[in-house]
Structure 1
């Protein structure tokens, strides 16, 4: 059975509300916004001038710092 995108979106929102309740579902939707801009174009501004070693160094530093940003409380 093929569903339309609209049907899938409606079912997804229903599953979210059924699982979290209305208020927490709204908080979740507000927290996860699609963002803005053109990532593909913008990444060239910060990646084109970095070497692969620079990228690996930054990844290692992020792993060492691991702040686990998703452990916050959303109110």
Structure 2
């Protein structure tokens, strides 16, 4: 018999928790959360106000160690 989507999700969460523990499972899921809202509309709200040069300048002002994905890459 084929499993339902709900059963597969429940089994997947259980496997993650058994393997990673609760805290690390939450951290893992946060990386893949689809979020909410309309990214395209929200993106245009700030992109239409700023030039590429403005965005580049802001990026250059960030501290070098501000990469939130360093943990994943290492």
Instruction: Give the shorter-chain TM-score range.
Output: 0.5 to 0.7
**Aligned match of 1:53:** 53
Q: 4+ residue runs of structure 1 moved beyond 6 angstroms?
A: none
SS at match of 2:50: coil
- Structure-2-length-normalised TM-score: 0.54
Higher RCO (CA < 8 A, seq sep 6+)? 1
- Structure-1-length-normalised TM-score: 0.53
Shift of 1:13: 1.4
Shift in alpha-carbon separation, 1:26–1:69, aligned structure 2, 3 A: same
What RMSD, in angstroms, separates the aligned Cα atoms of the two structures?
3.2
**Aligned match of 1:28:** 27
Q: Which runs of 5+ in 2 are unaligned?
A: 70-74
SS at match of 1:14: helix
Shift of 1:65: 5.3
SS at match of 1:35: coil
Q: Which runs of 5+ in 1 are unaligned?
A: 71-75
What is the count of residue pairs matched by the alignment? Answer: 63
